[in-house]
């Protein structure tokens, strides 16, 4: 699984929204472009297992969000500068920088939320939208988000950031191989201050109208062992039933970062979806 080293030398940088951002850009794009967006805490490296197989047919782009991986942090840090809105604008800046035509989008967790926000702001830019572990609606009171941040502060102080990062990695995935990957490639780069800012924005949001009304192919991948998010995702699956453009695919043996737990099965599901979209005229 860990072929990060193969691609690390091809990582590029540009400045979006005043922040230097890193991204991987490989493949000839014969069948279009696929943009992969990682979860909170992670970076472009999360999708290393997808780069090689998809770059054979597509131009593959993996962006590290501001404050993640090797990307820079906001000059004036606040919850607003690490919001889905700000992240979506960074993606738009990258798309403009590269002159991308409409593309396929794949996002995990907050990466999927960013996809919902991006589609709501720039619907003409997406050909398809795929998310996994990404609630379309949350409705927690503001104090609950602040409470989670306080808990995070306490745990990182008590256990140390590196040790807590390893614990978080273990809960985010289902397989030992995926956990080892996270510990080696993701945990050492986590910026916990950025995580604290970003978490607050996820307490209350509503993108269900996108799932109910989208007129592009949408795929929701349901990971069997993403137990921490099952309740939060129920409204998304209900909304999916109302729209023939949206489909749900089950992925066994996978946790929250499903693409790392079961990369081959994940690649098959996503590849079939994209091929089907192309066959039905989404080119």
Total domains, the chain: 1
Q: What is the structure's pLDDT at 282? A: 66
CA distance 40 to 3: 21
Range of the domain at 157: 4-279
Tokens of 195: 């995580």
Contacts of 8 (CB under 8 A, 6+ apart): none
281 by Cβ neighbours in 10 Å (0-12 / 13-18 / 19+) ranks as exposed
Q: Give the separation between CA 57 and CA 33, rounded to whole angstroms.
A: 9
- Give the sign of the dihedral formed by CA 196, CA 194, CA 223, CA 122: positive
CATH code: domain of residue 151: 3.40.50.1820
Nearest alpha carbon to residue 35 among 101, 83, 134, 86: 101
9 contacts: CB under 8 Å, gap ≥ 6:
none
Q: How far apart are CA 72 and CA 10, in angstroms?
A: 18
Q: What is the pLDDT along the chain (283 residues), one digit of tens a residue?
A: 668 989 999 999 999 888 999 999 999 888 999 999 999 999 999 999 999 999 999 999 999 999 999 999 988 888 889 999 999 999 999 999 999 999 999 999 999 999 999 999 999 999 999 999 999 999 887 777 777 777 777 878 788 888 888 888 888 999 999 999 999 999 999 998 888 888 888 888 999 999 999 999 999 999 999 998 989 999 999 999 999 999 999 999 999 999 999 999 999 999 999 999 988 766 5
For residue 97, the number of C-alpha atoms closer than 13 Å in the C-beta half-sphere is 19
pTM of the model: 0.95
Distance from C-alpha of 271 to C-alpha of 256, rounded to nearest angstrom: 20
Question: How far apart, in whole angstroms, are the C-alpha atoms of residue 225 and residue 193?
Answer: 28
At residue 140, the pLDDT reads 84
Helix (H) or strand (E) holding 86: helix 84-98
Buried b (16+ CB within 10 A) or exposed e, 247-278: eebebeebbbbbbbbbbebbbebbeebbeebb
């Amino acid at each position: 699984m860990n072929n990060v080293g193969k691609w690390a030398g091809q990582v590029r940088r540009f400045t979006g929204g005043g922040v230097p951002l890193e991204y991987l850009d490989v493949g000839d794009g014969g069948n279009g472009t696929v943009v992969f967006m990682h979860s909170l805490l992670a970076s472009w490296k999360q999708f290393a297992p997808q780069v090689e197989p998809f770059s054979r047919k597509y131009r593959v782009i993996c962006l590290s969000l501001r404050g993640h991986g090797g990307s820079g942090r906001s000059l004036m840090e606040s919850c607003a500068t690490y919001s889905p809105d700000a992240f979506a604008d960074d993606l738009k800046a990258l798309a403009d920088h590269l002159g991308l035509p409409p593309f396929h989008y794949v996002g995990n967790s907050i990466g999927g939320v960013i996809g919902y926000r991006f589609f709501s702001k720039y619907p003409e830019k997406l050909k398809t939208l795929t998310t996994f572990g990404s609630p379309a609606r949350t409705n927690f009171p503001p104090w609950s988000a602040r409470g989670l941040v306080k808990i995070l502060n306490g745990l990182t102080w008590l256990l140390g950031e590196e040790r807590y990062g390893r614990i978080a990695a273990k809960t985010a995935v289902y397989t030992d191989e995926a956990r080892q990957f996270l510990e080696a490639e993701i945990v050492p780069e986590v910026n916990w201050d950025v995580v604290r800012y970003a978490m607050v924005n996820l307490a209350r949001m509503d993108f269900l109208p996108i799932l109910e009304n989208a007129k592009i192919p949408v795929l929701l991948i349901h990971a069997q062992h993403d137990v921490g998010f099952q309740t939060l995702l129920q409204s998304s699956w209900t909304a999916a039933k109302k729209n023939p453009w949206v489909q749900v695919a089950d992925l066994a043996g996978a946790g929250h970062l499903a693409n790392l737990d079961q990369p081959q099965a994940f690649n098959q599901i996503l590849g079939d979806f994209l091929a089907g979209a192309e066959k039905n005229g989404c080119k």
